[in-house]
Each structure stands twice: as structure tokens, then as C-alpha cells.
Structure 1
Amino acid sequence: MSLAHAYEPTAGVRQAHVIVVGNQKGGAGKSTVAMHVLVALMRMGRRTGALDLDTRQRSLTRYIENRGRHIARNGAKLATPQVLELTESSARSLDAAEAEDEATFRAAVRRLSETCDFIVIDSPGGESFLSRLAHACADTLVTPLNDSFVDFDLLGDIDPNAADVVRPSIYSEMVWDSRKRKAAQLRQPIDWIVMRNRTSASRIEAKNKQRVGDALKTLSQRIGFRLAPGLSERVIYRELFPQGLTLLDLDADGGEGEMRMTHLAARQELRDLFITLKLPGLEGEALKF
């Protein structure tokens, strides 16, 4: 089934800026990145909406649900995004299922666009029709990538003898196709950012880290993505999940208290990422987190 309709804006409806956090591998920290981007945008005073396309694990949805319970239990004055849940079609015909999924997805984006400045979409690991729909409508695509050649294989094939990129892999080809379709339909680009996530400061891994970095730079020039500073391997990015909080909530009213030095370093990582995203309407505005 064609994805052409996924690119068409609805007449008379204001269009929110769509940020898709996606790749086709699990365990890269997509939901963690999506939640921190949501909270960063809310701290900047922007109205945000969230769509969780991982209809089985629902990690982002559960993160936001935990946040709602924390706010209700503690009377915390914390912002929370508008979130819509999607369910995949149970139709037995593939064409019918995809038509129903596309209609549901488009309706959700349209509804959130009525009240939100930004929509953050958390895509599932693996390949799915909903994931392709999301990539097709992205204005900004953020791809977290663990700092290893195992995850790099998602983007490009490596010549083991020359340690050079041979050709883009299947995910890069899917993104390339999405960009071509959107450009043809709307004359609008998809700004693709790849971030090296869960990086380690270990000296043992320094050589491999350099090789991964060199390969990413080579591939970025070939297929046109921007590299963003990622998030280090820090417990703080995960330990607040049960409360629905993020690192950026620690010093907020209703958060968990003051930031320690390690937290400040982690916050700077998030600031660097946010600056690199270059989101519209935020140019030159002082960060509020």
C-alpha cells in the first residue's frame, strides 16, 4: 500500500512539528530519548503531544502514566504531555489492516496538531507499517545508536578489511525513501540526526569508539544525516522511570531535589543534544533546563 497520504497535511489544521525517535533495533534508548525531549520542550514552554507506536511494550506510554501518578500522589507541579494511544488493526486482510492503521495514525496526528506545537513519536524496534508511516511524516528524525559496530550495521555495511563503509543498510534505505517521498509531496525535508547513545568513557573502548565515530562521519557525508552528541551510560537516565520523572525534573517543583555534579554533567549532554536539534521557533531562546 502506498504511503503517499501520510505526507498530505489536512487543510485548515495547523501543523505541529513532528519529531520521530526511531530506528529498527531495540535497546538503543529510544523511549528514554523521547521522554527527555518531551520534558525539555515542556520546560521551554511548548505544548507537546506524544504518540507511542510500540503497541506491545508501550514504554513511553507507561513512562507518561507513571508521571501522571507521581503528580497526583505528590501534588507535583510538573507539566505532562498530551498522549494518544494507538492500537494496531486486527483486520485479517493486510490491505484492510494497513488502511485502518493509516487512518488511525493520521487522525491522531491531526488531533494533536490542533493543540500542540510539537509531537514526539516513539517508534518501535523492528520494521512495521506504523513505523514507516511515522518516518514518512517526520520533520525531525532522531536515531539513537549504541556506540558499537553491532548497532552501526543498522545504518551501513562495513568492509571488515578496510574498516570502511560499503553501502547503506536497510534502515538508511528506508529513511532515504521517506525523505524522497516527503520532498516530492510537500517540498519539505526531513532533518535526520543520528546520536551516539550510551557512550562509555572506558579507555579499553576508546579505539573502537574512534573507529565507530570515523565510520559515522563517512556515512553521514554519503547519505546526509547530522551527528548529535549522545547520552552517556548513566543510571540516572533510567532510575527515575517508576516515578515518570526525567533528569530535567530534578530541580523542578515536585521533582526529586537538587542536582549533584554527575547530574549537572548529564544535563549538559541533554542541552547539547537539544541545541543540535535546531527545532523551529526556539532559535536563540535561552534554555530553561
Structure 2
Amino acid sequence: MAHIIVVGNEKGGAGKSTVSMHVATALARMGYRVGGLDLDLRQRTFGSYVEKRKSFCEKAGLELPSPFYHPLPDIDPATVQEGENIYDLRLSAAVAELEPQTDFILIDCPGSHTRLSQVAHSLADTLITPLNDSFVDFDLLAHVDDNGEKILGPSVYSEMVWNARQLRAQAGLKPIDWIVVRNRLGAQNMVNKEKMGKALDRLAKRIGFRTAPGFNERVIFRELFPRGLTLLDLKDIGVKQLNISNVAARQELRDLIKALDLPDVKVDF
């Protein structure tokens, strides 16, 4: 069966689609068959990213390793039985179609609480939660006191992950490997950054997740998106010499893939 990676949280602007595309493309470049689903039916940022990649490759005459994007299939409402949810059926149908032909299925969730996102979390073998390195976004995971030191209680998102874990346990499935990825880390060792790290360490032990460094804020990500490209594609499109920032960003991606510790994956880029 395909290993399911879910990228989710309930706040926008944390870099979910950037993380999704880079993880999916990195796996594809290492020779794995990767299917992609975008559950943000309104914005479709991840789906758009993959489509832009396909269009760019066709125009440039390139063949770049890429994830296979699968739109959620439509379900005839007349076929939905009493007690069934049409969104559950659409997601189940997409996963069932991708599983026989992929090694990994990456599901990008919207930055809000939806039925689709809730169900997707219960399917996750690996859950990646990108988080801006700020207590504004930390509130997604837990509530803290005004000093940012004492954890007062879990947030609704943490409770949703807990419920997803319970559902998996009841179904006899292995536990979710939950990784919180700290995005947009500042270069300087600021007091807030240190407090954030300590708070995450305390919370990780309390509710059961691992932490991993993500991407620093870089202009390159905004430049790559319109063409559907990733950091790993630069040499293929004619960039002969990477600048220091691009080299550092590639290392951040390499470190992230290693930290995910996906089954049988050996990082070789």
C-alpha cells in the first residue's frame, strides 16, 4: 500500500503548498511514484503548482520528475446512501485509484477546518504541519500564557489530530508520525525564536510530535511558483551556478526529507 503523507494545519500562509510540492518532487526525483491530492477545493494552490509545472515542461520541451496530480472525482449525489458523506466518498475514491500505481500519496489540506481535511488526517501515515516560527501560529497547536512559557492547553487542531489517532488505533492501523516543521526561521538567535523552540519541545513531549527545521523566508520560492518549479530543478533549466541562498535552501530541503524518515527513503540529492 502507498504511504500517505498529509500536509496540514488550520492556518493559511504557513507554506503548506511549498512544502507539499518540494517533498513530492524530491521523492519523484529519487525515483518514487508520487500521487498528489489537493483538498483546498477553492484555492487549489498545490494543484495549480503541479499544473504550472506540466505546462512549463511542455513549453520548454523538458521532462522533469513530477508528482501525478489527481483531482478529486465527482460523485453523483443520487448514489450516496443514507449516512454517507459525499466528501468522504470523493477522497476514498481518489486514494483507492492512486494506491495501486504509487509509492507515496501526498495530500495537501486547506488552511481551515473542513470535513475533507479531518478525514485526510485519519488517513495519514506521516503528518507534516508547517508552522511559521511565531507564537501567533503556535496558537494553532496549543494555548500559552502571556510570557509564552506555560502551556495552558491544546488547541482545536491538536485535538483533531488526537481524534485522527484514535480512529486509526480503532481500525488497527499504525500510529501517525506527526512532524511539526518550523518554517521561516530567522537567521538571528532572537529571544522569541528561543522561546518558541523551548515551547515546541515541551509541547512535543506532551502531545506527541517531532519537530524539524523547514525553509527560511526566500525570494526564490516566489520566483519558482509561476513555472511550477522547485529548488531541485534549477540546474535542469540552465542555472549553472547556484548562489549561496539557493545552495542553503537545497540543504534545508535535504534536511527536511531526512527528518521525515519516510520508509525506505535514502536521500540522494
Q: Structure 2 length normalisation: TM-score?
A: 0.94
Alignment check: 8 A CA contact 2:73 2:93 kept: no
Question: Are 2:188 and 1:208 equivalent residues in the alignment?
Answer: no
How many Å apart are 1:178 and its aligned residue?
0.4
- In the TM superposition, residue 89 of structure 1 has moved relative to its aligned partner by 7.4
2:228 corresponds to = 244
When structure 1 is superposed on structure 2, of 143-152 and 162-171 the one drifting more is 162-171
Q: 1:162 to 1:113 in 2, by over 3 A?
A: closer
Distance between the aligned counterparts of 2:48 and 2:61, measured in 1?
A: 19
Partner deviation per Cα, 1:115-156 (whole Å, 9 max, x = no partner) = 000011000011000000110100000000001111000000
Q: Secondary structure at the match of 1:186?
A: coil
| Cα shift at 1:260 | 1.7
- Choose from 70, 76, 87 the match for 2:56: 70
Unaligned runs of 5+ in 1: 1-14
Tell me whether 1:220 sits opposite 2:200 in the alignment: no
Q: Is the 2:148–2:195 Cα contact (8 Å) retained in structure 1? A: no
- Name the CA distance, whole Å, in 2 between partners of 1:249 and 1:43: 10
Q: Deviations over 1:93-116 (max 9, x none)?
A: xx9796111111101001111100
Task: Tell me by how many angstroms 1:87 deviates.
Answer: 6.7
- TM-score (ref. length: structure 1): 0.87
Q: Identify if the C-alpha distance between structure 1 residues 194 and 267 changes in structure 2 by more than 3 Å, giving closer, same or farther.
A: same
Secondary structure, in 3 states, of the residue corresponding to 2:181? Answer: strand
2:129 aligns with one of 137, 140, 143: 143
Question: Structure 1 158/114 Cα, relative in aligned 2: closer, same or farther at 3 Å?
Answer: same
AA at the equivalent of 1:235: V
Q: Is the 8 A contact 2:148 2:199 kept in 1?
A: no
Tell me the percent identity.
53
Shift of 1:202: 4.2
Partner residue of 2:138 out of 138, 152, 156: 152
More moved, 106-115 vs 156-165: 156-165
Distance 1:127 1:70, change over 3 A: same
The residue that corresponds to 1:187 in the other structure is 173
Shift of 1:157: 0.6
Aligned equivalent of 2:45, options 56, 59, 82: 59
2:248 matched to which residue of 1?
A: 265
C-alpha distance in structure 2 between counterparts of 1:113 and 1:256, whole Å: 35
Q: Which residue matches 1:42? A: 28
Moved more, 153-162 or 45-54: 153-162
User: Quick one: which amino acid aligns to residue 223 of structure 1?
Assistant: I
Report if the CA contact (8 A) 1:90-1:97 is conserved: no
Q: Which amino acid aligns with 1:243?
A: R
Alignment of 1:45-124 (within 5 A): 45-86=31-72, 99-124=85-110
1:255-274 per-residue CA deviation (whole Å, 9 max, x = no partner) reads 64442221111111111110
Task: Please state whether the residue corresponding to 1:270 is helix, strand or coil.
Answer: helix
Q: Number of paired residues?
A: 268
The answer for the alignment partner of 1:234 in structure 2 is: 218
Give 1:245's aligned amino acid: L
Structure 2 counterpart of 1:227, which letter? T
Amino acid at match of 1:34: S
**Cα offset, 1:187, TM superposition:** 3.4
Distance 1:161 1:214 in 2: 12
Give 1:172's aligned residue: 158
Equivalent in the alignment of 2:183:
197
Displacement of 1:181 after TM fit?
1.1
Counterpart residue identity of residue 280, structure 1:
P
Amino acid paired to 1:276: A
Amino acid at match of 1:31: S
Instruction: Give 5+ residue unaligned stretches, structure 2.
Output: none
**AA matched with 2:209:** F
SS in 2 for 1:240: helix
RMSD (CA atoms): 2.1
